[in-house]
Structure 1
Amino acid sequence: MEKDKILVLDTETTGFLPDAEVLQVSILDGNGTVRMNEYFRPDHTSAWPGAMAVNHITLAMVADKPSIGERKEEISHLLRHAEAVVGYNIFFDLKMLRQNGIFVPGRSHLRAIDIMGPFSDKYGEEKDLPLNKYGHYKYQKLITCAAYYGYDGGGWHDSLADTKATLFCFWKMVEDGTVKI
């Protein structure tokens, strides 16, 4: 698979529930080229204190930004022309995009590669961590994955910083055989 056909994606949102709105979308291609990094003004949400405590995105930061609907064709176009989309908990990000009106191709047209599960299994096995009640290792945070692979970036919970860390970890995991492309 060509690196420019791989997209690495992350979102920051107003929350996790079905009414949550996207506040930031960052997309890199497999070469690390920024294809999108944009903040969005929510259409219906005027406060998100819980999410703001994590992502530090304030209403003032997005007040003059476009709504995601104004960029939905651009985001959908990027996804339609990719062969794979990679992320750390990518299924949450794709759900948030769909929930906010973005067309996300189905699995027969776009392969979604979530590196959180494979990393958490690798990390749990190597650390001899206990399994949870469902027989799986506890999911690890992106910062743990990045530290494990020697990534020295920062700015956590900014979608561009998280996307850069995810891209770095993805290629390390491909290299060590944890993830197959």
Structure 2
Amino acid sequence: MTHAKTGAEIMRNAICVDTETTGLDPKEDEILTISIVDWNGAAVFDGKFKPKRKRAWTEAAAVNGITPESTEGLPAIDGFLPELRRIFAEADEVIGYNLPFDLAFLEEVGVQPRPDAKLADAMLEFAEAYGEPSESHPGEFRWKKLTFATEYVGHEWTGAAHGSMADALATLAIQKWIEANNG
């Protein structure tokens, strides 16, 4: 005899991703770190890489703390692409804070979610849930920094903001808060 699975028995096949990069342009800049956690907050992937083309990224380093010197001796991302492709191919849902940013960088290295995967941008969903109207985009809501959103939802950081693992876990906490409070 079989029985229907309860919500607690069904494992949600969702991943939450965050990257740190050498800049803002996925065509010119490169991924320095990628962290992926599952719906339960367990690390699925946590990689640090040496860029292949970029040699300096002063502005990005001021934000994420990753300097060219700190990437010396690290592998290039290339050897990890099969694993990253598999992770994204298996995920039913991909969550991120400003998800299009991370996905654009991943697409540049040939990693994409499956076409039928649900994409959840916690930044946009939080902006709507928080409800502050955008002054520059009528009818839309003002985006909030990840640090603001985490403080609002009561998330305690597990590392420094702008570290990809800490940011992935913070984003997951925000997404769970959104779903618990706003359907």
TM-score by structure 2 length?
Answer: 0.88
Classify the secondary structure of the residue corresponding to 1:32: coil
Classify the secondary structure of the residue corresponding to 2:63: helix
- Residue 61 of structure 1 is matched in structure 2 by 70
Which residue of 142, 148, 155 corresponds with 1:144?
148
Q: Are the counterparts in 1 of residues 129 and 178 from structure 2 also a CA contact under 8 Å?
A: no
CA shift at 1:141, angstroms? 0.5
Which residue of 80, 105, 110 corresponds with 2:113?
105
- Residue 176 of structure 2 is matched in structure 1 by 171
Gaps of 5+ in 1: none
Classify the secondary structure of the residue corresponding to 1:11: strand
Q: Are the counterparts in 2 of residues 75 and 102 from structure 1 also a CA contact under 8 Å?
A: no
Q: Indicate how the Cα distance of structure 1 residues 176 and 40 shifts in structure 2: closer, same or farther if over 3 A, else same.
A: same
CA shift at 1:59, angstroms? 1.2
For 2:110 and 2:36, locate their aligned partners in 1 and report how far apart those are by CA, in whole Å.
14
- Residue 4 of structure 2 is matched in structure 1 by none
Classify the secondary structure of the residue corresponding to 2:171: helix
For 1:92 and 1:69, locate their aligned partners in 2 and report how far apart those are by CA, in whole Å.
20
- Residue 53 of structure 2 is matched in structure 1 by 44
**More displaced stretch, 111-120 vs 5-14:** 111-120
Structure 2 matches for 1:3-42, cutoff 5 A? 3-17=11-25, 18-42=27-51
Which residue of 121, 132, 135 corresponds with 1:132?
135
Q: Are the counterparts in 1 of residues 126 and 174 from structure 2 also a CA contact under 8 Å?
A: no
Q: Indicate how the Cα distance of structure 1 residues 23 and 3 shifts in structure 2: closer, same or farther if over 3 A, else same.
A: farther
Q: Are the counterparts in 2 of residues 26 and 38 from structure 1 also a CA contact under 8 Å?
A: yes
Gaps of 5+ in 2: 1-6
- Residue 92 of structure 1 is matched in structure 2 by 101
Q: Are the counterparts in 2 of residues 15 and 21 from structure 1 also a CA contact under 8 Å?
A: yes
Which portions of structure 1, spanning 4 or more consecutive aligned residues, are displaced by more than 6 angstroms?
none
The AA in structure 1 aligned to 2:56 is A
- Residue 71 of structure 1 is matched in structure 2 by 80
For 1:102 and 1:62, locate their aligned partners in 2 and report how far apart those are by CA, in whole Å.
22
Classify the secondary structure of the residue corresponding to 1:44: coil
Q: Are the counterparts in 1 of residues 17 and 34 from structure 2 also a CA contact under 8 Å?
A: yes
Q: For this pair of structures, how many residues does the alignment match?
A: 172
The AA in structure 2 aligned to 1:84 is E
Q: Indicate how the Cα distance of structure 1 residues 3 and 169 shifts in structure 2: closer, same or farther if over 3 A, else same.
A: farther
TM-score by structure 1 length?
Answer: 0.89
CA shift at 1:3, angstroms? 4.2
For 2:76 and 2:103, locate their aligned partners in 1 and report how far apart those are by CA, in whole Å.
17
Q: Indicate how the Cα distance of structure 1 residues 117 and 63 shifts in structure 2: closer, same or farther if over 3 A, else same.
A: same
Query: Highest CA radius of gyration, 1 or 2?
Result: 2
For 1:149 and 1:6, locate their aligned partners in 2 and report how far apart those are by CA, in whole Å.
20
For 2:143 and 2:134, locate their aligned partners in 1 and report how far apart those are by CA, in whole Å.
10
CA shift at 1:121, angstroms? 2.1
CA shift at 1:112, angstroms? 1.1
